[in-house]
Amino acid sequence: MTTIVVPHKALEAAQNPEKADYLTGALVDYVNDIQRAGLYTRDELPVVAMQAYHADYYFAQIMNGGHSQFVGNTGAALFLTTSADALAGLEAMGASAQHQILQEMIAWVEANPGEAAAQNGFTRRPATLEALDDRFYEAERQQPMTPLASRWIASWLDLKAVAPDQYASEIERLAQLHPHWSQRRIWRSVRNIRFQMTDRLQLTVAAACGAVVPEPEFKLLVIRGSSQDGDADQSTAFEVKTDKGARLCVYEKAGGQLYEYGPGSQRSKPGETHEILKSLPPSLVGARLSVVAADTVENFSRVAEQNLAAEAIDLLLRNSGLDPAAMITALAVSDDRATWYAVTGKTGVMIETLDDRADRLGPDGKAALTVTRAEIERHAEEAAAGRDSMPTQA
């Protein structure tokens, strides 16, 4: 990819130093949008775009929480590439003072890997980084980097300014130019569904929602909660949104429990409220709605892998003309089959996955649409090809 797209108004605003952030913001939007729509990796996008993007990220992190926050939020895995991009961007735009400060910060991280790993922007902020913060803020007072970045971006020969109402379609056109665009989109949605079926926390929530009687509830959103003792294998409480409202799910090695949550919730029976929830106001923790055992969760995971459930659900949603970005609830499982409920947008679909096929079930419980095992396996091959085309993100 060589073309960089921004709205006309952002490029025009760059002529005014007080509105320079319009263009730098548009550049950040371009990188985010093209990566989302086209699944381009860092190395497939214009080098200057990634340099400007990460220079802006560096600026934003320092202005919000200093160099400690930049180090902590970037993480060890991305630190070298992110810092290298930002460093090159600062040099290209002429922000010499900020460039020198970033060089010194990189040197500090390399010399102090243990202390760098402990940074979070709040605690254990070393004097060296705080001194770099002060110098950066002074450099910004002397020569702000955003106007420099804006002028640099505006000079790019591959910069294309379009009308605001043409921006989205242009991003989509560029996304579809990628030779692996279709396969990568399949891989992205399959990976999302598979994560919900293989991550034990996610699957426990999904099964707890599906175990509510007399009618199951359908998972819409999971919000990570707090652990009782910091151990992922011990009790953890999650806020969950279902089609019936706000819920709390307790996850632990034994399985999961789903509770009503929020003002007006019905009280649990004596002795039913889990220990981890007793620290919350009694008025917020309501009746226990379901209990699901760990072996049931493991059975869902086993059958999902055995039947290529993630690929099957993705394929059935696509064949139904629905967005495959779905939230999955686990309803029922036996030795060789499982029933799931996929919520995509405002539509809910019940799907049964078996050894030899997968069925989208109609209101009468009968198969309304079927994909065979051979079709599912071909879809899995497309997803794998998409995964293998982005080795750094697989």
What is the per-residue pLDDT across 305-347, written as a single tens digit (0 to 9) for each? 999 999 999 999 999 999 999 999 999 999 999 999 999 999 9
Strand pairing report for 4-7 and 236-242: unpaired
Task: Say what the pLDDT of residue 15 is.
Answer: 84
pLDDT surpasses 60 at 380: yes
Residue 349: name the closest of 325, 333, 372, 373 by CA.
325
Please give the share of the chain, as a percent, with pLDDT higher than 70.
95
Give the residue extent of every domain in the chain.
Answer: 4-178, 180-394
**Is the pLDDT reported for residue 225 higher than 60?**
no
Q: Which amino acid is at 214?
A: P
What is the structure's pLDDT at 17?
85
What is the Cβ-side half-sphere exposure of residue 244, based on CA atoms within 13 angstroms? Answer: 17
Q: Based on the number of CB atoms within 10 Å of its own CB, is 346 exposed (0-12), middle (13-18) or buried (19 or more)?
A: exposed
Average pLDDT, the chain: 92
For the chain, count helices (H), then strands (E).
13, 12
In the predicted structure, residue 393 carries a pLDDT above the cut 60: no
- How distant, in Å, are the alpha carbons of 40, 102, 106, 110, 295 from that of 80? 20, 12, 8, 10, 43
Full-model pTM:
0.79
Query: 């995971």: which residue's tokens?
Result: 301
Write the pLDDT tens digit of every residue in 249-274.
Answer: 999 999 999 999 988 777 777 677 88
Reported confidence tier of residue 210, pLDDT bands at 50, 70, 90: very high
Give the model's confidence band at 7: pLDDT under 50 very low, under 70 low, under 90 confident, else very high.
very high
Stretch 176-187: mean pLDDT:
93
Residue 228 pLDDT greater than 80, yes or no: no
CB neighbour list of residue 227: distance below 8 Å, 6 or more residues apart: 234, 235, 236
pLDDT at residue 192 in the model: 96
> How does residue 392 score in pLDDT terms, banded at 50, 70 and 90?
low
For every residue of 25-45, DSSP letters joined together read HHHHHHHHHHHHHH---GGGS
Give tens-digit pLDDT for 120-146: 777 778 899 999 999 999 999 999 999
SS3 content of the chain, % helix, strand, coil (to 5): 55, 20, 25
Q: What is the pLDDT of residue 282?
A: 78
Rounded to an integer, the average pLDDT of 210-214 is 96
Q: Is the pLDDT of residue 285 over 90?
A: no
The whole-number average pLDDT for the span 18-29 is 95
pLDDT at residue number 234: 65
- CA 345/CA 327 separation, integer angstroms: 9
Report pLDDT for 227. Answer: 44
pLDDT of amino acid 277: 85
Three-point CA angle 164, 167, 171, nearest 5°: 170
Q: For 339-363, what is each residue's pLDDT tens digit? A: 999 999 999 999 999 999 999 999 9
* Residues 31-84 pLDDT 10s: 999 999 988 988 999 999 999 999 999 999 999 999 999 999 999 889 999 999
Tell the CATH topology of 4-178.
A middle domain of Talin 1 (1.20.1420)
Q: What is the largest CA-CA distance in the chain?
A: 71
Closest to 90 measured CA to CA, from 132, 129, 139: 139
| Predicted confidence (pLDDT) at residue 4 exceeds the cutoff of 90 | yes
